[in-house]
Amino acid sequence: MTTATDDRRIRGLRPAKPAVDPWRAHGSLIEHERRPNGTAERVLTIFLAGAECPFTCSFCDLWRWTIDGPTPHGALPKQIGDVLSALADGQVLDRLKLYNASNFFDRRAVPAEDVPEIAALASRFTGGVTVESHANTVGALTLEFAQLISCRLEVAIGLETIHPAAAARLNKRLELARFDRAARFLADNDIDLRVFVLLGAPYVPFDESVEWTVRTVEYAVSRGAAIVSIIPVRGGNGELERLQSLGYFTPPAHSQLEEAVERCQAFSSAVVSADPWVEREM
């Protein structure tokens, strides 16, 4: 169970937040990504600046890339437009990922009046558009955006872990039943599901970490996830250091990440890979 007291403690332990300009994207990258059908897409990821996520997860450090207060009207289209304008002439890309370190369907993070313009900017990408969201904000606004864009929508959701004790103590406010409903909603509306899974989640014993990561990936795939990214938990947000001092968190080893990814290759219906959660390009 999580409380407002947990929120205050986690926020109080954070180091100072860097200054964030809501009119400038943190950075972008272009990469090739394999899809379940065996094709490789050329993907542009834009790391957007905007409002902080309302959920205060104990393991998260994405708040560093957010502003205090709601995202200003017009800021996100400006960020996206600037990145697209800087692309080389004639450069062909298949997919656009819009990662805003929050929830795309939270109107405090993505103002409603900006959604049509964002959809129009995404029109050049024929492979798909990927956005990130807590399972709790998947619903009518998700369907609305899917209908506005001219290609397939993919929603990336953090499942993190299905370890029962750990999941209840991550302060994420996510029950498996709610994740399942979000996954069914996406499938029923022909929207793709991508899932983030943690390696080394707090409260998962170190020697059980790989096993629970593999189980969580399997759970995500069974609920329709086509892409699963395994993210090794890293410290630096204050709360993880507190948990480490109490014996509730041990940073995962590189060998564990290799083992987890290797074991998950057995789930042939999905692409499972490691996401080292590197620092965003500024």
Predicted model pTM: 0.95
Instruction: Round to whole Å and give the CA distance between 222 and 262.
Output: 18
Distances (CA, A) of 276 to 29, 196, 254, 273: 15, 12, 10, 10
pLDDT tops 80 at residue 269: yes
Residue 14 resides in a domain: yes
Cβ–Cβ under 8 Å, residues 264 and 272: yes
Mean pLDDT value of segment 250-279: 91
- Number of H helices and number of E strands within the chain? 9, 10
Q: How many CA atoms lie within 13 A of 188 on its CB side?
A: 11
Instruction: With respect to residue 279, please indicate whether it lies within any of the assigned structural domains.
Output: no
pLDDT band (50, 70, 90) for residue 282? very low
H helices of 27-98, where? 75-85
- Enclosing domain of residue 108: 4-274
Task: Answer yes or no: is 31 within a domain.
Answer: yes
Whether residue 71 is contained in a domain is answered as yes
Q: What is the pLDDT, as a whole number, of residue 89? A: 86
| pLDDT at residue 10 greater than cutoff 80 | yes
> Does 33 reside within a domain?
yes
The CA R_g of the chain, rounded to the nearest whole Å, is 18
Q: Could you read off the pLDDT of 86-105 as tens digits, one per residue?
A: 998 888 899 999 999 999 99
Interval 61-82: pLDDT, tens: 999 999 999 999 999 999 999 9
Asked if the structure places residue 84 within a domain, the reply is: yes
The strand pair at 27-34 and 40-47 is best described as antiparallel
At 2, is the pLDDT very low, low, confident or very high (cuts 50, 70, 90)? Answer: low
Domain membership flag for residue 117? yes
Sign of the torsion formed by the C-alpha atoms of 126, 94, 101 and 56: positive
Confirm whether 32 is domain-assigned: yes
Q: Check residue 1 and give its pLDDT.
A: 52
Residue 3 pLDDT: 74
Distance CA 263, CA 163 (A): 18
CATH of the domain at 255: 3.20.20.70
Check residue 281 and give its pLDDT.
Answer: 40
**Count of domains in the chain?**
1
Determine the average pLDDT of the residues in 238-253.
97
For 69, which DSSP code?
Answer: S
